[in-house]
């Protein structure tokens, strides 16, 4: 019985050692970084860039939103952001946006058994958060506005649901609210 225990322990230690060696391998790290990169979203005068998505808060949410799952929702969020900003811009202006962090509303609860562990549980204590930097330019390239923004809405569950059934409904509403405030036209 102790032999089985010690063999299992030795195997686990060996696997841990090999994993640590692999993580210190620059080539493996470069391949992992390349896999984490996403293409920029370009919609007319708006470009949305994702800076190191593997480091986003939701990428580290028990591994459930990271990797291939993240590659499906981040471009969707980027496209939504580009479309909303593009609709508010005067002709000739351009906006570049770098998304630096995303924390989706809710959390995965890994202690739930089976497939239920993959379901995001949305509670008001886990609001959506998006951190970004943007630059708005005139047609001749002069900077109108720029800077970092931290999008937050701690009352997100009290809002009217503009995107019922959409898995990114809270994040999209957060983006919509920022776009409406940041790119509001005079007189509106």
Question: Cα(110)–Cα(167) distance, rounded to whole angstroms?
Answer: 19
pLDDT at position 119 is 73
- Sign, CA torsion 104/163/125/182: positive
> For 52-68, what is each residue's pLDDT tens digit?
888 888 865 544 444 44
Question: Cα(145)–Cα(92) distance, rounded to whole angstroms?
Answer: 15
- The answer to whether 181 and 84 have CB atoms below 8 angstroms apart is no
CB proximity list for 172: less than 8 A, separation 6 or greater? 77, 80, 162, 163, 166
Task: Show the low-confidence residues of the chain (pLDDT under 50).
Answer: 2, 4-35, 62-68, 187-188
- Taking CA atoms, 143 is separated from 131, 133, 134, 135, 186, in Å, by 20, 13, 11, 7, 19
> For 9-29, what is each residue's pLDDT tens digit?
444 443 343 344 444 444 434
In what helix (H) or strand (E) does residue 62 lie, and over which residues does it extend?
none
pLDDT at position 116 is 60
Question: Cα(126)–Cα(27) distance, rounded to whole angstroms?
Answer: 36
pLDDT at position 63 is 45
- Taking CA atoms, 81 is separated from 11, 72, 116, 126, 136, in Å, by 47, 15, 30, 21, 14
């Amino acid at each position: 019985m102790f032999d089985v225990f010690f063999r299992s322990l030795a195997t686990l230690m060996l696997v841990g050692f090999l994993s640590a060696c692999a993580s210190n391998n620059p080539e493996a790290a470069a391949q992992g970084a390349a896999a984490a990169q996403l293409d920029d979203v370009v919609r007319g005068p708006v470009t949305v860039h994702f800076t190191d998505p593997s480091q986003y808060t939701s990428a580290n949410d028990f591994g459930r939103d990271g990797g291939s799952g993240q590659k499906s929702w981040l471009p969707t969020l980027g496209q939504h952001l580009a479309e909303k900003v593009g609709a508010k811009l005067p002709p000739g202006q351009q906006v570049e946006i770098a998304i630096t962090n995303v924390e989706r509303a809710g959390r995965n609860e890994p202690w739930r058994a089976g497939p239920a562990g993959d379901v995001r549980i949305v509670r008001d204590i886990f609001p959506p958060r998006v951190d970004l930097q943007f630059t708005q330019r005139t047609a001749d390239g002069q900077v109108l506005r720029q800077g970092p923004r931290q999008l937050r809405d701690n009352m997100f569950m009290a809002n009217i649901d503009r995107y019922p059934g959409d898995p990114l409904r809270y994040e999209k509403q957060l983006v919509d609210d920022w776009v409406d405030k940041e790119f509001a036209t005079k007189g509106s």
